[in-house]
Amino acid sequence: MSGKVITVTSGKGGVGKTTVTANLATALAMRGRKVVALDADIGLRNLDIVLGLENRIVYDLVDVVEGRCRLRQAMIKDKRHQELYLIPAAQTRDKSAVSPSDMVLVCNELRQEMDYIIIDSPAGIERGFRNAIAATDHVLIVTNPEVSAVRDADRIIGLIEAEEKGPACLIVNRVKPAMVSRGEMLSIEDIIDILAIQLVGVIPEDEHILIGSNQGTPVAMNGSNGASASQAFRNIAGRLEGEDVPFMELKAKISFLDRLSSLFN
């Protein structure tokens, strides 16, 4: 068996990399896949708390790399799923504790047992980012419909191409349909026009995401209880597995005044 390594990255911080990693790993595990989520954000570990596994950590990625434990010992099983594991980042070390070639070794070992290795990248374009893409088969770039996030995404796309790790795919997170329909937010079409890469996901702004993080229960686990973000993550999982899942129509509640003014445009 040879699993696929997927890196979730963005350039800019706070756009939703950890949220996407946690939910995508969850959604793929819910489809019966063997999945490991790997936190490459050394020194600023977060994937553990978003997945609700923070109290079960004994060993971390740096312990594996420095030979203090076997890889299996650092894989925390998420008991809510058949086969979902977390390899946490070290909290008290810095990015230089792991090298790109360490990442290749770790990922090659994981590939033999897992269907998917999903790597949560730190922000920035330095060592942590290099580590996160060292062994990647497929890069997912997360952005927000906002000028600085899109600009940083463009820079990352250029770097991924230069490293011959492309073509990268795009996830647009925190879309507010009402603002888009008022013309006060970049639309998905605008962002695709600008970045010229393939879209794999659109995630609306959704407070269920924060509620999920509060509880350590990724929103992708919420069945069909109305959270549109939950469906959005399951759709991305389907697309990554080659299904032709149509993009959800994000409906905006358009006010009478908005409609009136658009009549005159």
CB of 161 to other proteins, least distance (A): 8
Site string for Mg ion, 35-54 (x = CB under 5 A): -----------x--------
- Candidates 3, 16, 128, 218: give the one binding ligand ADP (CB under 6 A): 16
Q: How many degrees, rounded to 5, is the angle at CA 168 between CA 148 and CA 247?
A: 85
- Candidates 107, 132, 133, 186: give the one binding other proteins (CB under 8 A): 186
* Contact present, 64 and 15 (Cβ < 8 Å): no
Q: Which residues are within 8 A (CB) of 89 and not within 5 positions of it... i.e. 6 or more apart?
A: 39, 40, 41, 42, 43, 44, 45, 47, 60, 61, 62
What is the C-alpha separation between 180 and 177, in angstroms, rounded? 5
The DSSP 8-state label assigned to residue 248 in this structure reads P
- Candidates 154, 178, 222, 248: give the one binding other proteins (CB under 8 A): 154
Q: Is the peptide bond before 167 cis (omega within 30 degrees of 0)?
A: yes
The option from Mg ion, ligand ADP, other proteins, none interacting with 158 (CB < 5 to 8 A, set by class) reads other proteins
The residues of the shown chain that bind ligand ADP, judged by CB under 6 A, are 10, 13-19, 46, 173-174, 203, 205-206, 209-210, 213, 229
**Which residues contribute to the site for other proteins (CB under 8 A)?**
146-147, 150-151, 154-155, 157-158, 161, 179-180, 182-187, 190, 193-196, 261-262, 264-265
